[in-house]
Structure 1
Amino acid sequence: MKFVIPLPENQEEITIRELLENEWLIPRKVRHFLRTRKNVLCNDQAIMFHESVKAGDQITLIFEATDYALPTILPGNRQNLSILYEDEHFIILNKPYGIKTHPNQPDETDTLLNDLADYLAEKKQLPYVVHRLDKETSGAILFAKNPVVLPILGRMLEHKDIQRIYEAEVRGHFKTQVPFTISKKIGRHRHDRRMRTIDEKNGQTAITHVTPFKETSTTTWVTCQLDTGRTHQIRVHLESIGHPIIGDPLYEKRPTKNVSRLQLHAKELSLVHPFTKEQIRVLATPYLSNQNGESTGK
């Protein structure tokens, strides 16, 4: 693998060692190989790790095939993909409802990751999972296209530098349309391994910001923004306050009739590109709330 990365205009002067270790999160062993092989160039010239680089410099990194452990992913069908954004380092897809993000068994081929592996094969690239969406959830989802950017995107996700906004149709109405926050810890369900539940004693911290924005006769559409990314977080949090998501096969205790899917969609994803510092914002249209003027549920 060879990457040529121009440093952005707002890049402060920094040593190559600091750039690779602190900003680009290159693993220690791989940094050692880059240094001993002289596989780091600045403006097409070999550079020592103690030397500094600055805005406008062009950094070239050359990796050997053995530097990273590469995953084995069986190809699916690239025709299933809907691409919202793509560059050399990552890709954002519009995930359909009813497909898993990644395989749980090595012989599976019917997940989004398999379809992406088929698409990237002709580019001699592999997909890497950055975050996931439930099988029942649709919308914007981010994958890395190489192992170099993967830890950077992972850190950005952890530090809330990747913003994800969801929309959901929930049962009932709220007293006001004022935004509010749900802060309840989430843990595993004691009796059903598929489910999660509110567990203030042993659960993990989970924070969801909710904004109601449209009502039907029996339901309300809300947007949700996450400070944390727990399994089923939005579904569990909304059910815990008496407003389960319409069509939820796990958490809607009285299933809504005539609804064919979970009414939850990742409508927007935004981030600052880790290398170019460009602001990237994608919208996963069409939105569910635009398709349904009135809930079909009874």
Structure 2
Amino acid sequence: MTLNQHIVLETENKIRIDKLLSNLVSESRSQVQSWITNELVLVNGEIIKPNYKCQTADEIRWTIPEPEPLNIKPENIPLRIVYEDSDLLVVNKPKGMVVHPSAGHQNGTLVNALLYHCDDLSGINGVERPGIVHRIDKDTSGLLVVAKSDLAHTNLSEQMATKDIERKYEAVVHGVIEHETGLIDAPIGRDKNDRQKMGVVDSGKPAVTHFRVIRRFENFTHVECQLETGRTHQIRVHMKYIDFPIVGDPKYGRRKTLETNGQVLHAKSLGFKHPRTNEWLFFEEEAPAYFKELLSQMEKMY
């Protein structure tokens, strides 16, 4: 258990306790509400309800329970391995697969499959995310590199930080983009109104996305996006920011969209220097069948 304290500022007067605390600790309001329900949050030494409105100079004390350790088991899940050697492997993750276990997804993840496939994953990210250098969202398909040694993990992370890893995606977005190419330079951080979302905020971290049009349809555009940075949900947030949200995106997309079971986004190519040999490696994978079928349907419709 970790004990924390905060004195309510004048600017925070009359803000609901669950909203204020979720902003302070970067947790969802539902998570904070569960702490309050379990009497882990006190205001001026008193138990309160989630809808309590804070008053200036209130003393908030809260205890964050230690997370329950995950029991991650190897699972015999088929993997599409594009490349593998003693230092790393590159996989083509299918749509619908979570990258690493969490409280809501302890089984069926890429990490579960990797632990079954090989014993020698790097331990830099701990037992919950062995070998994971970068992630792609559950409903995003495509390429990612996994480190099998700590040397590879450290080197690949450095390449990521210095923007030396090349990552390109393709997506279908709502609307018709008139210009051929574009650059989105807008900082990304937690959405102040919804801690489950990311958004373009002044206090966010720098984020840059390049895009080019592959093909236009009557109401949609097929685009290629290249990441210069790697913020959470970056492409999804940036395309929404310029009012061309990704088709099927349940978090950032439009309510009226096509039935796709998640965002139409595919990590199509990945390039980096091999951490041991310094050789440039480049991999490219075609979009999955559902993506191609969608494009085919759009071509017939429009």
Fold in common (TM above 0.5): yes
Residue in 2 that maps onto 1:16: none
Residue in 2 that maps onto 1:158: 161
Q: Helix, strand or coil for the counterpart of 2:254? A: coil
Residue in 2 that maps onto 1:115: 113
- 1:107 and 1:97 map into 2 onto residues whose CA distance is 15
- 1:130 and 1:156 map into 2 onto residues whose CA distance is 10
**1:41-190 counterparts in 2 under 5 A?**
74-105=72-103, 108-121=106-119, 124-125=120-121, 127-176=130-179, 178-190=180-192
Q: Work out whether residues 216 and 294 of structure 1, in 8 Å CA contact, stay in contact via their aligned partners in 2.
A: no
Q: Helix, strand or coil for the counterpart of 1:80? A: coil
Q: Which amino acid aligns with 1:233?
A: Q
- 2:105 and 2:291 map into 1 onto residues whose CA distance is 36
Compared CA separation, residues 205 and 274, structure 1 to 2 (3 A): same
Q: Which amino acid aligns with 2:197?
A: M
Q: Work out whether residues 74 and 108 of structure 1, in 8 Å CA contact, stay in contact via their aligned partners in 2.
A: yes
What is the aligned-residue RMSD (CA, Å)?
A: 2.4
Count residues with an aligned counterpart.
224
Task: Report percent identity of matched pairs.
Answer: 35
- 2:244 and 2:217 map into 1 onto residues whose CA distance is 14
Q: Work out whether residues 186 and 206 of structure 2, in 8 Å CA contact, stay in contact via their aligned partners in 1.
A: yes
Q: Which amino acid aligns with 2:208?
A: I
Q: Helix, strand or coil for the counterpart of 2:194? A: coil
Q: Work out whether residues 76 and 111 of structure 1, in 8 Å CA contact, stay in contact via their aligned partners in 2.
A: no
Tell me how far 1:150 sits from its aligned partner: 0.9
Tell me how far 1:164 sits from its aligned partner: 0.5
Compared CA separation, residues 179 and 257, structure 1 to 2 (3 A): closer
Query: Which runs of 5 or more residues in structure 1 are unaligned?
Result: 1-71
Tell me how far 1:147 sits from its aligned partner: 1.6
Residue in 1 that maps onto 2:218: 217
- 1:255 and 1:107 map into 2 onto residues whose CA distance is 28
Compared CA separation, residues 276 and 130, structure 1 to 2 (3 A): same
Q: Which amino acid aligns with 2:275?
A: P
Q: Helix, strand or coil for the counterpart of 1:249? A: coil
Q: Work out whether residues 76 and 110 of structure 1, in 8 Å CA contact, stay in contact via their aligned partners in 2.
A: no
TM-score of the superposed pair, with normalisation by structure 1: 0.69
Residue in 2 that maps onto 1:281: 282
Q: Helix, strand or coil for the counterpart of 1:93? A: strand
